[in-house]
Structure 1
Amino acid sequence: MKKVLKLLILLTAVLALFACSKKEAASSNEIVQWSQFLDPTIPLYKLKKPVYDEYLKNNPMPMPFAQDTGPALYRERAQRYLLQGKSGYPDFLEGTLEQVYSYIAAGMAAPIEDLFNNDPDKDIFAKSLVDAFTIDGHMYAFPNVANVRLLIYRKDLLEKYNLQVPATWADLVNVAKTIKEKEGINGFMFTTQTKEVRAFQEFMSFYYTLADKIYEVKDGKATYVADKANFAKVLQLYKDLFAVAIDPNSKGQDWKAVDYGITGGQVAMVTDGPWIWEHMTEDPARGTIISNLGVAPIPVPVAGQPSGTYMEVKGYVINPYSAEEKRQNVYNAVKMFVDKPFIELEVKYSSAPSIRSDIKSETEFGQAFSDNLDTGKVLEFINWDIPQNYIIDAIQSVIYERATPEEAANTLDKQLKDYEAQAVVQQEN
C-alpha cells in the first residue's frame, strides 16, 4: 500500500511538472502577469475591460497577455511565486511592500532602475513611492498603488446622536460605545483573524501614532528599537473597544467583516483604505451608506499629538527568471498598467490617491486620503512574515483574554527582540 502511495505521489509530481512545463511553453510568446488588474472577480473589472480593449487598439502590445492572472489572494500569490518563480512563470506580478521585501531576499525581484531611469515618464510618479521600492540604489518594483489607513465613519450616525468625530483614543472608545448601545451595531471593527495581513496593518496604524518604527535598519543590520509600553497601549485599545463597542462574536474576523461591515451598515467606524469607495460599483445598494461616509485622521492617544498611520504601497515586480528577450516587453506591459487611462479609473472609482502627478482625485472621499498621504509611514526593510504573526498572536491573546495587554506586550517584546538577528533581508546573489 505504501509503495502504491509513493508511486501516486511521484506520478502527481511528474504530471504537475509536465503541466508546468507545458504552461511555460505556452507562455513563451505571451506575457504572464499575476495581479488584480484584469481579474474578473473584482468590482472594477467591468469598468477596466472596455478601457483596456480600447487602449490595446490604439497601443498594440508586441506580446499578448496570457489568460492566467494568478491567485486572487496576495499571500497565496506570494507563496506560489516563491515556489515556482524560478521557472520564469509569471513574468511579473503585483505585491505589497512587505512581499516585495521577501522577493528581494529570495532573489526573485529584478532591478529595474536602468529601465525606469530611461523612461521619459519617470518624473510623473510620486517620488516617495519610487523611494519605497529603492533599496541600496536599486529599484525593485514599479509602484501602482499607495494608500494610508484612516478613520472611516458613518456621518449620519454621528450627526444623529450629536457626536464629534473621534480625535483621541478615548474619544474613539466613547463614540463607538455610544453607537453600539443606541444602534445595536458594532461601533467599531478590527480585523483579528490569524495570519490575516490586514490585522497586522491595522495594528501598525495605531502603533504609528506612538512611534515611527520597530527596527532601525542600518549597514545591513537591524536593531530592535521599540518600547514595549507602546505595544501595551495599542493592545489596551483593542481590549477597551472589544469590551464596550464590539460584539464578542466579532472576534477572529477577517477583512470582510471590516469592509463589508462598514459598507453594509453593520459597523459604524473602521480604520480602512480608499478602496471602500469601490464597493459602489460592486453593489449599488450600498451606495447610500458609502456616500455618507466621512474620512478623518487616525485618532491619537493624546490630544494634540501628531498623527501617523500605516502606508500601504503596492508595486509590480518583474521576475528575474523571465526570458531576457522579453524584459523590455514585460516592462512596457507594467508601464501600461500604470498609464493614465487606468490610473484615472482607479482614482475615480476606488478613490485611491493618485500615484501620478497629472491625475487628481474627483471625490471628497478620495481627496481626504490624498491630503493625508504624508502622514503615512513605510515599513522598515526587513522580512515581516514572522513579526506580523507575532503581532497578530498578541492581539488574539488580548481579545480572547488569554493575557493582559501588558503580558502580551512583554511576550511580543521578547519575540521581536529575539527576531532582530534574522530580521534584515539578506539578498541572494
Structure 2
Amino acid sequence: MIKIVEGEYIKTLTDGNLEDLVKELDRGYILVMLKENNKLHEGYIFVEDGEIIGYYYTDNLMEEVFGTEGKVKVLELLNKENKVIEIYKYNKDKLNLMKWLCPEIFVKKDDKNKKEKSDHKEEKYIQTKITIPLGNFIAANVRDFEKYLEENKYILIYVYRKVNNNFETGYVIYYGNKPLAAAYESKNGVLFGKEACYKIGSLLNDENSVIEVYEYDEKKVNVLLEEYPNMKIDNELKEDVIEEKTDNVESISLSYEENVDISREELLKKLGISEPDDSWIEAVIEDLIKPNNEELQELKEIIEKEMIEKIKNIDGVEDIKPEINLKWENGRYLIYGDINVKRKKILGIIKKNVDPSLIKFEIDNVIKKHLAKYTSRISINIE
C-alpha cells in the first residue's frame, strides 16, 4: 500500500464543494474518509498552486487506485452523505518527496492540461430540462438490472440518487443487451448519449442510488429520439432496431420503369395525403404515450404504497389511508383524492401535532418521482 507523506493538519469538514475545497489550499492534500461496509475508504486529492495534480483512493484492505480511476473513486466518496473531510498543508519539500515516492499518483502539467480539455469536452452540459416518459413499470429498488434485459425487447433503466439535497437522474434505453439511448440530468444541466453514460455508470454503481426498470417499445423509442435526438448512443443504429426518420427528402422515384422524379409535395397531393401538421403530430404522440387503464391502476397502487411508507415515517403519524384516483386527461396525469392521516394518541390524548406541510412534501416527492406531467388535487385530512 502507498504511504502518504503526512502534511500539517488545517481543519475538518463534513461537506464541501470540490472547487471550494481546492481554494483552501495552495499546496497539500484533501483527505476524504468514509466508513462503509466495515471498510475505511480514503480518497486523497493533491493540490499544487491552487490546482489539482493527482488523485489516490484506497479501502485500506485490497484496493488502491490512482489516475482516472482514482479520480472517479475519490469523487464518489466526496458525494457521499456521511463522509469526513480533512485538509492538510504541505511545504515544497514534502510535496516533492511525495512526488518522488509515488510518481504514479501525479499528473504532469502537459498531461493535466490535455485531460482537463478532454474532461471539459466529455461533460458539456446543456442547460435545459428533460421529460422522459417511464413506460410500463416492471421493478423497483433493483441492483442487478441486467437480468431484465431480454432479446428483442426494449427496456428503460431509470436511476437516481440524492446528493447534498440535489437529485441526479439517469435514463438508459436498452434493446436486448445493447444500450440505444441515454440521458443524465443534474443541477449542472443535461448530458446526452455517450457523454451521459459515464455519469450514469457512476449512479448505477452507487449503493445509495435507486434503480427502477420499465418496459418500452419501438414507437416510444422513436418518439423519444425525435424529441431528444442527441440521446442516441450510436449514430449508426441498425434499421431493424430504430427506424431512422428524416424530413429533408426532396424527391422520390415513383417506379423504376417510369424513371420520373416527383417532389414530396406533389407526391402527397397525388396520393391524397395531407401534409402532417402540429395537431397531427401531437395526436400521434398522445396515442403513443397514453397509458391504458391497467397501467393507470398499477401506477396508482405503486404511488399509494410509497406514500404510506414515506408518511408513516413522519413523527407523530400512527396510520395513513390514501384514497386517490389517477386518470389521463389532455396529455397529462390527473391525480386527485384524499390522504387521511391518523395521529398517534396516548390514553386518547394526541401525542404530537403533525405538520401538514411535511405530509405535502412527501406526497409531492412521490408524485414527481413517477409522473412527468400531472395535475394534483389531493386533500390532506388529519385526524
Tell me the TM-score normalized by structure 2.
0.21
More strand by percentage: 2
TM-score normalized with structure 1 length: 0.19
Larger Cα-atom Rg? 2
Greater RCO (Cα-Cα under 8 Å, separation 6 or more): 1
